[in-house]
Amino acid sequence: MFNLSSIPTTTTEPRHVKALILGAGPAGLSAALYAARADLQPVALTGTQIGGQAALTHTIENYPGFPEGVGGAELGDLFKKQAERFGATVEFDSAQAVDLSQRPFRVRTDNGEFTADSLIVSTGASPNKLNIPGEAELTGRGVSYCGTCDGWFFKDKKVVVAGGGDSALEEALFLTRFATSVTIVHRRDALRAGAILQKRAQENPKIGFIWNTVITEAVGGEKLVAVKLKDVQTGSESDLPTDGLFIFIGHTPNTQLFEGQLEMQDGYIKVDDRMHTSIPGVFAAGESADPHFKQVVTSAGMGAAAAIEATHFLEAHGG
C-alpha cells in the first residue's frame, strides 16, 4: 500500500477538485468534456503529451466524423478545445504518486499536489522495446518509435520497420513519403494488421517484407548503420544495412503508478462494464484499461462513460 511518507511533501496546500483526470489522450479529453458538461470543473493532467499516442499518428482515418481523415495532433487539439469550452482545465503536469486509500484521493504531481473527490485514470500506453543490443544507445540516432515524429530525417534513406501489426504497417506506409525503401521485418509469415493496411502495404512499391525473422542487434557507433537479422526457422543470421530502425511491436499500459492499489490484469487496470475500478470513485478508460480494442473511438467512448459514472458517483456519495 502507498505510504505518503515515501514521497517528498510539497510546501503548498493541495488543490482540491471534484474530478481529476490523469492523461489527456482521446480517453482523458473525452472524460474531461463529459465531466465539464456535468459541471464537475475537471482538471486533466496531460502527462508527457496532449492527444496521447493518437497525436503521434500522422492521419487518423477511422475516427467517425472525419471522412477524409484527420491529423492525430489536430484531433487531440480539437478534443482539448471542446473540453475547455465547457470549463475543463487541461494542465501540462504529470502524476508522480497516488494515494487511493481514502477519499479524497491524493495525487502528487511534478508541480504540486491534488486532492480529488473522483479520479479518472487514462494514462494510456507506451511503445514496447525490442530490448536488443544497441537499441537504447542508438535511439535518436537511427532508432525510433515514431514515424510521424522522425520520418522527415530519413529523406532519401533506407529504413527498416519491426512488427506486423496495424501500427507497423501504418507507419511503414507513412515512411514511404521520405525513405527510398522501407523493409518490414516480421517474426512470422502472416501479418496481424487489418486487411486494408495489408493491401496498401503490399501494393506499395517502396515496401518490402522479410518474413519469419527477428532483429537481434542495432549496429552502429555515432549512428545506426545496420541491423542484425536472424531467420527463426533456419537460425541463419545476416546483416542488413539501414539508416533507420522503426520499432512498432505493441504497447505496455502506463499503470505502474497504481500497482498495489488498483486491481490489475496483465498490467491493465481492471474495470467493469461501467469503467469502475476496484476502488469506488476511481474510474479508468482508454488503453491503460483496454487490452482488446485500443482504438481512438473506443478510448473516447470509455472516457465519456467514465465521466458519466464519476458524475453519478459524486451525486450519490458527495463531493
The DSSP output letter for 287 is G
| Lookup: cell for 232 | 527463426
Could you tell me if 133 and 219 are in contact, meaning their C-beta atoms sit under 8 angstroms apart? no
Task: Decide whether 164 or 220 has the Cβ nearer to ligand NAP.
Answer: 164
Positions in 207-236 near ligand NAP (CB under 6 A): 214
Shortest distance (Å) from residue 234 CB to ligand NAP = 17
Among 165, 252, 270, 279, binds ligand NAP (CB under 6 A): 165
* 189/211 Cα distance (integer angstroms): 5
* Strand pairing class (224-231; 213-220): antiparallel
Task: Decide whether 8 or 67 has the Cβ nearer to ligand NAP.
Answer: 67
Place of cell 480529488: 116
- In sign, the C-alpha dihedral spanning 124, 130, 134, 138 is negative
Determine which helix (DSSP H) or strand (DSSP E) holds 181, and give its type and residue range. Answer: strand 181-185
Could you tell me if 52 and 44 are in contact, meaning their C-beta atoms sit under 8 angstroms apart? no
Shortest distance (Å) from residue 235 CB to ligand NAP = 16
Positions in 53-92 near ligand NAP (CB under 6 A): 62
Q: Give, rounded to a whole angstrom, the gap between the first and last alpha carbons of the chain.
A: 24
* Distance from chain centroid for Cα 61: 18
Among 81, 85, 177, 188, binds ligand NAP (CB under 6 A): 188
Shortest distance (Å) from residue 181 CB to ligand NAP = 20
Could you tell me if 161 and 171 are in contact, meaning their C-beta atoms sit under 8 angstroms apart? yes
Shortest distance (Å) from residue 193 CB to ligand NAP = 7
Shortest distance (Å) from residue 244 CB to ligand NAP = 17
Applying CB under 6 A, does 199 fall inside the site for ligand NAP?
Answer: no
Region of 34-42, 113-121, 160-168, 278-286 interacting with ligand NAP (CB under 6 A): 160-168
Region of 88-96, 165-173, 223-231, 298-306 interacting with ligand NAP (CB under 6 A): 165-173
The DSSP output letter for 139 is B
Q: Count the site residues for ligand NAP by CB under 6 A.
A: 20
Task: Decide whether 141 or 251 has the Cβ nearer to ligand NAP.
Answer: 251
Phi, psi torsion values for 268, nearest 5 degrees: -95, 145
Applying CB under 6 A, does 168 fall inside the site for ligand NAP?
Answer: yes
Task: Decide whether 118 or 167 has the Cβ nearer to ligand NAP.
Answer: 167
* 35/80 Cα distance (integer angstroms): 13
Applying CB under 6 A, does 166 fall inside the site for ligand NAP?
Answer: yes
Quick check: helix, strand or coil at residue 319? coil
* 294/249 Cα distance (integer angstroms): 14
Region of 18-26, 164-172, 199-207, 238-246 interacting with ligand NAP (CB under 6 A): 164-172
Applying CB under 6 A, does 246 fall inside the site for ligand NAP?
Answer: no
Q: Which residues does the annotation mark as catalytic?
A: 146, 149-150
Q: Which residue has the CB atom at the shortest distance from ligand NAP? A: 165
Distance (Å) of CA 304 to CA 123, 129, 268, 284 = 15, 31, 19, 11
* Strand pairing class (43-45; 15-22): parallel
Among 158, 230, 251, 270, binds ligand NAP (CB under 6 A): 251
Applying CB under 6 A, does 276 fall inside the site for ligand NAP?
Answer: no
Shortest distance (Å) from residue 171 CB to ligand NAP = 8
Residues near ligand NAP, by CB under 6 A: 62, 130, 162-168, 170, 187-188, 192, 214, 248-251, 294-295
